[in-house]
Structure 1
Amino acid sequence: MILWQRILMVGSGGLLVLGAVIAMHALWLPTKAWLAHELISISWQHYRETGQSLKPWPWADTTAAAQLSFLRLEEDIVVLNNADATSLAFSAGMIAPFNRVDGESTIAIAGHQDTHFRLLANIKVGDEIKLTTADGQARYYQIFDSDIVEQSAMLSLEPDQGGLVLVTCYPFSDLTNLTSLTSDSPLASVERASQRLLVYALPVYKQPVYQPPVK
């Protein structure tokens, strides 16, 4: 075998190995996200059934704290008990000191706009949200307003108003799906800017108005 044929064979083998490594890396990212979601769900179910918090994986520095349900969108999110950068990589998280789920305190929850809080691009004023705590208590909130603030702005909330505030970055990374928003959406008149979106909801002391369609 002449030299150039050997070089070609070695080069082809190297390209195959490189391609395999790239493919494995590309597959690992969604697999990691899926696995984290499943482990967090298991952690939440354990908390619901036993009343004892459980780390989703041994080295995690967070645990499941509650579940958010967006009734019209039929989407559920397990909320973690803190909102540091590591926790937000895996799910939405409660922002201290607004992380008391006693039914009277204001609760603030943050999430990334390109993953777990992506659905905030499609919420509307009047939408109802259910917050389920580990003891099985369900608290209902109704969205009434939103605001856009600078990323550097401090989160100024009254701790004892009993409301719910959802926080994410704005704009959303892909604005193509915002064209379908109706005029009653809190995002309908917001200009494109690198800021922070705050969605405000007040408690409603009743069963939810929205009922999912019968399938």
Structure 2
Amino acid sequence: MRGFPIRAKGRAAAAALLLLAGLGLTAQSAWIPAKAALAQVLLERAFAETLATGKPARPWPWADTVPVARLTLAGRRFIALAGSSGQALAFGPGHVEGTPQAGDPGTAVYAAHRDTQFAVLGLLKPGDPIAVTRGDGRTATFRVTGSRVAAWDASGVDPAAIGIRLVLSTCWPLGAVTHGPLRLIVEAERADHG
């Protein structure tokens, strides 16, 4: 029975290591959503400053992007950043480079992570409203016309399409935990003329 206390200590140490590993994994999985939520508070302040002064305001001194729009959809508001790099998407939706501003002719495209802001895309149905307030203070209202799933490199989205359109895109399926080649694409058309 002399080995019993040593085995018990070994089991206790193993249990403690497993507990620490579990806590570490839990903290890591919560980091991206927590960062995105905190960033939205700072982005909201910077966007308010942009609207008040007419000049792009950085949300924090070392930011390499600026807020360019406020998206309102599914009862939620999100500040979108200029660009769709991984660095920008870590903090909020990004206005995809090479697409027009929302409300201008063509198709404005915004992308975000499926486990942060654009988890709500699965709630949108045809006819649902989406409002986009731009950095210049103009607001354009859109109505969802539908959604579809496409390969990331075969979306069929044309930024120069005739009309005034909006596309919101995120990875598919929404509940997945690994990267994949598919994207959920929510399409909308301009509902107002202001």
Equivalent-residue separation in structure 2 for 1:74 and 1:172 (angstroms):
18
The answer for the alignment partner of 1:162 in structure 2 is: 164
Equivalent-residue separation in structure 2 for 1:204 and 1:139 (angstroms):
8
Assess if the C-alpha contact under 8 Å between 1:103 and 1:139 holds in 2.
no
Assess if the C-alpha contact under 8 Å between 2:102 and 2:132 holds in 1.
no
Output the amino acid matched with 1:127: D
The answer for the alignment partner of 1:37 in structure 2 is: 40
TM-fit CA distance, 1:61: 1.4
Output the amino acid matched with 1:124: K
The structure with the greater share of residues assigned to strand is 2
Output the amino acid matched with 2:84: A
* Alignment TM-score, normalising by the size of structure 1: 0.70
The answer for the alignment partner of 1:195 in structure 2 is: 182
Equivalent-residue separation in structure 1 for 2:159 and 2:83 (angstroms):
19
The answer for the alignment partner of 1:135 in structure 2 is: 136
Q: State percent identity of aligned pairs.
A: 29
The answer for the alignment partner of 1:83 in structure 2 is: 84
Output the amino acid matched with 1:132: T
Number of aligned pairs? 176
Per-residue CA distance 1:41-96 (angstroms, 9 max, x = gap): 111111111111111122211110011111xx311111111111110111001111
| 1:90–1:104 Cα change, 3 Å | same
TM-fit CA distance, 1:31: 5.1
Report whether the alignment pairs 1:108 with 2:109: yes
In the alignment, structure 2 segments of 5+ residues that lack a partner are none
**RMSD between aligned alpha carbons?**
3.0
Equivalent-residue separation in structure 2 for 1:53 and 1:83 (angstroms):
17
Equivalent-residue separation in structure 1 for 2:159 and 2:41 (angstroms):
34
| 1:206–1:91 Cα change, 3 Å | same
Report whether the alignment pairs 1:46 with 2:69: no
TM-fit CA distance, 1:105: 3.1
* Alignment TM-score, normalising by the size of structure 2: 0.76
| 1:108–1:32 Cα change, 3 Å | closer
Report whether the alignment pairs 1:58 with 2:61: yes
| 1:138–1:36 Cα change, 3 Å | same
Assess if the C-alpha contact under 8 Å between 1:171 and 1:194 holds in 2.
no
| 1:194–1:97 Cα change, 3 Å | closer
| 1:152–1:43 Cα change, 3 Å | same
The answer for the alignment partner of 1:182 in structure 2 is: none
TM-fit CA distance, 1:104: 2.2
Output the amino acid matched with 2:83: N
Assess if the C-alpha contact under 8 Å between 2:81 and 2:95 holds in 1.
yes
